[in-house]
Each structure stands twice: as structure tokens, then as C-alpha cells.
Structure 1
Amino acid sequence: MRTRDHGKPTRLLAAASVSLLAGICLCGAVQAQKSEANAGGIYTCTDARGRTLTADRPIADCSDREQRELSPSGLTRRKIEPTYSARELAEREDRAREAALQAAKATDERRRERALLVRYPSAASHERERNDALAQIDAVIVAAQKRIAELSEDRKKIDEEMEFYKSDKSKAPGAMRRKLEDNTQSLAVQNRFVAEQEEEKKRVNARFDEERGRLNALWSPKSGGNTR
């Protein structure tokens, strides 16, 4: 004897109803999204006087500043960049180039500072290199001064030989006159060389003084440096 399941049609009907309801809800949500996407946007911005403006199209009074396009629900769809004149674009490009240049200079300066700190980890190392550089110049000056002393001794001998012709040096033998001219030129060259080396010492000291001023900050305890 077979029994019928009278509850089965009821369950099938209930399941079908749920599926139909879910489909209707999903369709409604999709339609709502499409409607919002197709709806006109709302444009908003803050003008130069600080007023918040809204319109159904891009706002002319805010052409020089950023605007936002909102959906009907108030969400930001997109941001609209300012529109610039040719002069404004050129000025923006100039400012961007200047900012990039300053950033590059700052990067180079930090690189030089790091290199200085590696080369001179302490004040003692910096002063030691200054003294070494000056000592090398002094050695060159001493050699030049020695040559000047030799030329001066030669000059005394030449002057003694020229004593006979002091009233009219043009009557002196050609070889003697050339010796006098060579000695005079050599003395001038050596004296000029010594003067140049003295100027070089000033430049070296100025360079080390400038470096010392920068390094003092790098050696400071706040910078983690070492002043010993």
C-alpha cells in the first residue's frame, strides 16, 4: 500500500517562491545601480572666496581648482583637475622644475655631507689632513726659496762682472747680458711662484674652515657624530 507525501508540493512551492523573490530583489538592485550610473552627476567645489558651490554640470567659477563629481547618493565618482591657461601652465612647470632642482640640490648636499663624515670621522682627522696639505705646500715653498737664494748668489757674481759696464750696460758682452736677463727672469718666476703658493695656502685654509663649519654640526651629539 503506497502513501502520498502531501508536504512535498508545499515545499516545492515555498522554494520556488523564495527563488522568485531573490530574483526580483537582485533585478531591483541591478536596476537601481544602472539608474544611478545613468543619472546626471552633481558637481561641487569650493571657490576662491571659500563658498561651497554645487551644480549639475562643471562649475565655471571653479575652473582654476579641483572639482568633484558626485553620484545621487553622494559618493565621489571622479575628481576633475583644474584647467589652466598657457601662462598658468608655464608657471606650474617652472615651479615644478624649481622644486625638482631644489630637491636634487638637497640630495647632493646630503650625499656630500655623508662623504665628508666618512672621510673625517673626527675633528682630529680633519685637522690632521689640513696640516698635511699645508705641509706639502710649505715644502714646495721651501724648495722655491732655496732656488731664489741660489739665483741671488748668481746675481751677486753677475753684478760683480757687470761692474765694469755699469755706466753703460749695453757695452757688456752679449753672453753676460743674456746671463743677467736670464737671472732676472728666473728670479721673477720663482718669486711669483712663491706668492702663488702663499695664496694656495689661504685657499686650503678657507676650504678646511668651510668644511669644519659643516662638520661641527655633523659631529655634534644630536647628529651622532664624534668630536674627538
Structure 2
Amino acid sequence: MDRKKIVRLSSLLLIAAVFAPVAFAQIFTCIDASGRKITSDRPIPECLSKDQKELNPSGTVKRVVKPVMTAEEQRVADQKLKSEAEEKARIEEERRKNRALLSRYPNRAAHDKERSTALAQVDDVILAAQKRIGELADQRKGINEELEFYKKDPSKAPASLRRQIEDNEKSVAVQKRFITDQDDEKKRANVRFDEELDRLRKLWAQAAAPTATATPTSVPAKK
């Protein structure tokens, strides 16, 4: 590179360095607490508690710099953002659940079938427990027949026989409690299916309505 080109390049770099701060200068303006308009090339300390406008070179507003918040204001703002994020997440989760419900139960028949299957499984368990109670009743008859030999003086009955009676009674009680628990489970299942059905009716109606303004996935869950 010859000397003339070096001198020319150096001149261009010097000009760029001189005018760069002007080309990219920031302009801030605000009205302070006393009503005085202040303009500066950087954020204005006197207006930290007020809105400040950053202007383009043409004088138009580029952006508005919000006031610096106090610790309490920042806490409130952060809490608001957190609440909004949680609400957004809740809505998205609700939509996901609704989509899953519609996918699993596209119509009433599918939901009714699921209910019948679930209740039938509980009924099968109850029948097994009732059958076991019947077996224990037959077992108790045999024990009672042996106990007849000691009818005049039950205290002479062998300890093993008395233990059989005690074990039999405990087993019957366990099966009865189990049946009660299963009856409660059926009630809970019916409540759950009823709540689902109420929710699904709204989702099915929205899915079937061509002019519905809300999507089927936006229906809130019944509380």
C-alpha cells in the first residue's frame, strides 16, 4: 500500500471517529418535579422518579424510559409478573387437559363405556369379597359343629378352636370393611365421571359449533 493510500485511509478513520458520537448521540428529555423541561445526552438523574423520553435525531419519541421503582414498587411489580405467569401457565395446563379429555372421550358413548368399565371392575372386587365372606361362613359352621362338643362348658374348648373362631371373626370384619371401602370408591368414581361429563358437554358443544368464538380447549374446568 503506497503512502497516499495510507494517508487517505487514516483521514477517513479520523473523520469517522470524530462524527461517530454525534451520529449515535442519545437525547433524553423530561419534566422534573418543579415543572422544568430538561434535555440531556444521557438518562436524567433529576427525573429518575418520572417518565423520560428518548428521542430520535428527528425529535420523534424513540422510547419511554419508565421511572426507577422503589424496593416496594419493584416487589409489587415482580409479584404481578409472577401472578400473570402463573395464570398463563394455569390456562395452558387447562387447555392441555381439555384437549386430552376430548381425545380420550370424543363422544358421550366413549365416556359412558369408560364409566361402566370402571364401575364393573369395582363390582368384581366386591363380589370377590362377598364370596370370601361366604367361604368364611361355611368355615364358621364347621367350627361351630366342633364347638357343640363343649356346649355344656365352652371353657373346656381347646385354645386352637377358640383361635379359629377369633381368626374367622376378624377375617369377616376385614372383608366387610373392604366392601364398604369399595362402595365408597364407586361413589367417588361416579362423582368424578359426573364432573367430567359436565365439562365434556361444554367441550363437545363448542367442538360441534362452527361459529363458536372460543376453542374447545379454552373451557375452564369445573371447580
- Return the TM-score normalized by structure 1: 0.69
Distance in 2 between the 1:223 and 1:67 partners?
Answer: 49
Match of 2:176 among 191, 211, 219: 191
Conserved 8 A contact 1:67-1:80:
yes
1:188 is displaced (CA, Å) by 0.9
Q: Structure 1 stretch 191-200 or stretch 89-98: which is displaced more?
A: 89-98
Alignment partner, residue 59 of structure 2: 74
- Is 1:55 aligned to residue 55 of structure 2? no
Cα distance change on mapping 1:113 and 1:212 into 2, 3 Å:
same
Cα distance change on mapping 1:41 and 1:93 into 2, 3 Å:
closer
Match of 2:83 among 50, 74, 98: 98
Alignment partner, residue 29 of structure 2: 42
Higher relative contact order (CA 8 A, sep 6+): 2
Q: Structure 2 matches for 1:108-187, cutoff 5 A?
A: 108-163=93-148, 165=150, 169-187=154-172
Please give the per-residue CA displacement for 1:172-212, whole angstroms capped at 9, x wherever unaligned.
20110111011011101111111111111011111111111
1:81 is displaced (CA, Å) by 2.2
Distance in 2 between the 1:169 and 1:55 partners?
Answer: 109
Q: Structure 2 matches for 1:210-221, cutoff 5 A?
A: 210-220=195-205
RMSD, matched Cα: 3.1
**Percent identity among equivalent residues?**
45
Q: Which has the larger radius of gyration?
A: 1
1:61 is displaced (CA, Å) by 7.2
1:78 is displaced (CA, Å) by 4.0
Q: Structure 1 stretch 186-195 or stretch 69-78: which is displaced more?
A: 69-78
What runs of 5+ residues in structure 2 fail to find an aligned partner? 1-18, 210-223
Alignment partner, residue 208 of structure 2: 224
